[in-house]
Structure 1
Amino acid sequence: MLSANLADSLPSGAVRVKRRRSVAQRIAGREGSVAQLDVALQERQLSLRTD
């Protein structure tokens, strides 16, 4: 939800989301969980990552 809200409220291309999907999630057609979220605005960058 956070990634979709950020992408909608910020300029195009400012938000990049990397997802991690298991085989079961792929078969079920689900997006998977967010593994990394990057936001870049001008010279500022923010990265959130799960391990």
Structure 2
Amino acid sequence: MAEKVQKVGVKKEAGYLYFVDKQGDISRAKMARGGKKKKKKKAAKKKKKR
């Protein structure tokens, strides 16, 4: 489990993964997918039974 140690004030951008690298710096990498908000799908119409 991860533990928050300190807030550093990094402004995060959508589509990037932020992590602490080997030197102890905060780095970011472009995510393979994701980063955009998905729109909700419309609900399918139900057929009326007669």
Q: Which TM-score applies when normalising by structure 2? A: 0.27
| Larger relative helix fraction | 1
| Larger relative strand fraction | 1
Higher RCO, 1 vs 2 (CA within 8 Å, ≥6 residues apart):
1
